[in-house]
């Protein structure tokens, strides 16, 4: 198959697709497709329980966290998070770090539910480590975040899929002078690509359609003590307390997407788990960024300390060659490299399912294109 560099929904491991195809019409002799099963029946219960246990094992999720499978994507969480958490404290405050389009969307949606402030923003040109950085090409340093000690939570998006900006090391809220404020992280586009230090977080959430499976299921990993504070206006199906009490079966869950995510979790375990995946992702990203940095034909505009391992936007110095680049890439079986419309240029998303070989194929096409047009 061609290599698929889509930012999401993105490539899934071929092995997972083939496995699902082989049992599409008859799961384990049940005579049913997974999408035809009752979510409360014994077959689907087994699928769900295995997926849950595998996800917990992969990420080493501590006991004090609940793992919920929800619907509505990460965008719905932009409302569901404040609906569930902002009422924890009487002031109904929440603070947001802005580092790109996704965190901006989260911040905008939250404003409907309380007193929302910006803790820090990379939305202006700034000098970062002695380099002049364009807006949204870097991440504000925690030392510069201003978090209100009585906020109900602090929200960040740790990998900005569109800008290609990744936040490498989450702060301990004590060091920000706000020990009572839980950190809430949108990890959608680097979920399962690296380990998570749960001692630093109150909650993480991710839409599945990058590293975890097809669109339709949203993973929420939340400290149990944060559950149970939903505002009265919170829809029942989105109240973490209801979803948790019902074992993610408050209503019919996205059963097929959960099954597929479960197959991805098993594939990840077979690859050696998150540590192996992380090492592979470091090698892939290094190969691509090293090539970009060594080239005078292409350029990466993101500050080196905040470059995403998953989403690599890059530009041709001569942008009049963009169409030819994409056409040639397609012919070379390298798909979906066009950059997001708000950024332009190109973007290679190199999620877990893409091996180093795919990145090498991209680099070799880029070298060849440069030879012909440089
Ligand atoms: N947050 C991030 C970091 C994303 O990359 C995306 C989608 O690409 C979203 C949120 C929105 O996700 P969804 O489309 O599942 O609502």
Instruction: Show pLDDT as tens, one digit a residue, over the chain (374 residues).
Output: 999 999 999 999 999 999 999 999 999 999 999 999 999 999 999 999 999 999 999 999 999 999 999 999 999 999 999 999 999 999 999 999 999 999 999 999 999 999 999 999 999 999 999 999 999 999 999 999 999 999 999 999 999 999 999 998 899 999 999 999 999 999 999 999 999 999 999 999 999 999 999 999 999 999 999 999 999 999 999 999 999 999 999 999 999 999 999 999 999 999 999 999 999 999 999 999 999 999 999 999 999 999 999 999 999 999 999 999 999 999 999 999 999 999 999 999 999 999 999 999 999 999 999 999 98
Q: Tell me the domains of the chain and their CATH numbers.
A: 14-270 (3.40.640.10), 273-373 (3.90.1150.10)
pTM of the model: 0.98
Output the six-digit token pair for 212: 């975890």
Supply the residues annotated as catalytic. 102, 186, 210
Closest listed residue to residue 206, CA positions, set 217, 193, 194: 217
Residue to probe by mutation, ligand 1, list 8, 10, 100, 102, most atoms within 8 Å of CB: 102
Contact 173, 202 (CB under 8 A): no
Residue to probe by mutation, ligand 1, list 6, 75, 261, most atoms within 8 Å of CB: 75
Instruction: Note the ipTM here.
Output: 0.99
Query: In the chain, how long is the greatest CA-to-CA distance?
Result: 64
Tracing tokens 């109900």 back to the chain, one arrives at 152
Neighbours of 112 (CB within 10 A): 12
Q: How many Å apart are CA 313 and CA 304, to the nearest integer?
A: 13
> E strands of the chain, at which residues?
3-4, 65-70, 93-98, 115-121, 126-128, 131-133, 154-157, 159-160, 165-166, 183-186, 203-207, 218-223, 298-299, 311-316, 334-335, 346-349
Q: Which atom of ligand 1 is nearest to the CA of 209?
A: 15
Q: What are phi and psi of 359, to 5 degrees?
A: -65, -40
Tracing tokens 């929420």 back to the chain, one arrives at 220
Contact 269, 58 (CB under 8 A): yes
Ramachandran sector of residue 158 (left: φ over 0; alpha: ψ -120 to 50; beta: rest): alpha
Q: How many Å apart are CA 184 and CA 335, to the nearest integer?
A: 33
Query: What residues does ligand 1 touch, defined as CB less than 6 Å away?
Result: 8, 73-75, 102, 157, 161, 186, 188-189, 207
């Amino acid at each position: 198959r061609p290599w698929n560099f889509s930012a999401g929904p993105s490539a899934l491991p071929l092995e997972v697709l083939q496995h699902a195809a082989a049992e599409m019409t008859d799961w384990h002799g049940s005579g049913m497709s997974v999408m035809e099963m009752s979510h409360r029946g014994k077959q689907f219960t087994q699928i769900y329980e295995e997926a849950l246990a595998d996800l917990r094992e992969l990420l080493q999720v501590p006991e004090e966290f609940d793992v919920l499978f929800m619907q509505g994507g990460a965008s719905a969480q932009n409302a569901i998070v404040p609906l569930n958490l902002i009422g924890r404290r009487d002031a109904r405050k929440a603070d947001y770090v802005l580092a790109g389009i996704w965190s901006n969307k989260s911040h905008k949606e939250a404003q409907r539910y309380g007193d929302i402030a910006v803790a820090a923003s990379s939305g202006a040109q700034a000098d970062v480590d002695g380099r002049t950085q364009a807006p949204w090409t870097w991440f504000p340093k925690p030392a510069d975040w201003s978090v209100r000690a009585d906020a109900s939570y602090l929200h960040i998006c740790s990998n900005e899929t569109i800008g290609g900006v990744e936040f490498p090391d989450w702060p301990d809220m004590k060091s920000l002078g706000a020990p009572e404020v839980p950190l809430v992280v949108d990890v959608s586009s680097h979920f399962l690509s690296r380990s998570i230090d749960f001692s630093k977080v109150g909650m993480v959430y991710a839409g599945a359609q990058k590293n975890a499976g097809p669109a339709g299921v949203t993973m929420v990993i939340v400290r149990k003590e944060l559950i149970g504070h939903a505002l009265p206006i919170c829809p029942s199906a989105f109240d973490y307390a209801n979803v948790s009490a019902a074992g993610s079966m408050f209503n019919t869950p996205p059963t097929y997407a959960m099954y597929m995510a479960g197959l991805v979790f098993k594939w990840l375990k077979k690859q050696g788990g998150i540590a192996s995946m992380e090492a592979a992702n470091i090698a892939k990203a290094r190969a691509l960024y090293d090539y970009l940095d060594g080239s005078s034909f292409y350029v990466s505009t993101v500050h080196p300390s905040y470059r995403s391992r998953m989403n690599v936007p890059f530009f041709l110095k001569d942008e009049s060659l963009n169409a030819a680049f994409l056409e040639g890439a397609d012919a070379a079986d390298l798909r979906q490299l066009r950059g997001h419309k708000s950024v332009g240029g190109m973007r290679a998303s190199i999620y877990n399912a893409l091996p180093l070989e795919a990145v090498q194929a991209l680099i070799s096409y880029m070298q060849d294109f440069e030879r012909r047009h440089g």
